């Protein structure tokens, strides 16, 4: 049986201050990037299309809005919304979206990260919590860390708001605290063939 593709997956959760950080990250990556990227940036669903357009203008990678059954692939970036989870079928990883009336955030970073925990036996996962208010993503990051993912919380030096990274650091064993520019370098190395 063929192994799941892609073999490397990057998950990024961010909120306040995140859009500018994400632009810097994606602008630094080459078109032959060897990992799939799924980003959960807190923002209203109505703003995601224009955000995707802006990222596409600044990135060499293909950036798209995450949609139902979108299949992950190396060099492809999906910006998700609502209650987005990662599922597997026919040796592929794809996005499954549902509405969750109890969700406090759009999208729900924890939901995305929780769903990826089962993928750690199939592919390498790099999970990153960037700048943001609150604690969304902290519990999901903790579970991913327990399952063997490499987890990073942005440092207070570069985080616009050190809420989400601080909570992730508190709850995740063996998490690494890095400045944004160090995170960019780690992402580049992770996606190198």
> Are β-strands 176-178 and 150-154 bridged in parallel, bridged antiparallel, or unpaired?
parallel
Q: CA 110 to CA 91: how far, in whole Å?
A: 24
Mention every residue, 6+ apart, whose C-beta is less than 8 A from residue 88: 4, 94, 118, 119, 122
Helix 138-146, helix 164-171: angle, nearest 10: 30
Mention every residue, 6+ apart, whose C-beta is less than 8 A from residue 91: 1, 2, 3, 4, 5
Residues annotated as catalytic are 15, 42, 136
Q: In this structure, what are the phi and psi dihedrals at residue 33, rounded to the nearest 5 degrees? A: -60, 130
Q: CA 82 to CA 111: how far, in whole Å?
A: 10
């Amino acid at each position: 049986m063929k192994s799941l593709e892609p073999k490397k997956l990057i998950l990024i959760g961010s909120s306040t201050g995140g859009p500018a950080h994400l632009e810097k990250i994606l602008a630094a990556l080459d078109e032959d990037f060897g990992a799939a990227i799924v980003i959960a940036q807190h923002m209203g669903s109505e703003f995601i299309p224009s955000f995707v357009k802006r990222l596409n203008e600044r990135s060499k990678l293909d950036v798209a809005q995450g949609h139902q059954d979108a299949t992950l692939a190396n060099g492809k970036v999906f910006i998700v919304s609502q209650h987005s989870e990662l599922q597997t079928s026919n040796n592929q990883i794809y996005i499954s979206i549902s509405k969750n009336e109890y969700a406090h955030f759009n999208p729900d970073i924890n939901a995305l990260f929780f769903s990826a925990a089962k993928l750690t036996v199939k592919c390498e996962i790099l999970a990153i919590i960037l700048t943001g208010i609150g604690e969304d993503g902290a519990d999901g990051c903790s579970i991913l860390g327990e399952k063997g993912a490499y987890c990073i919380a942005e440092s207070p030096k570069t985080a616009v708001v050190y809420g989400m990274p601080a909570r992730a650091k508190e709850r995740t064993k063996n998490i690494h605290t890095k400045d944004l520019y160090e995170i960019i370098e780690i992402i580049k190395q992770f996606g190198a063939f």
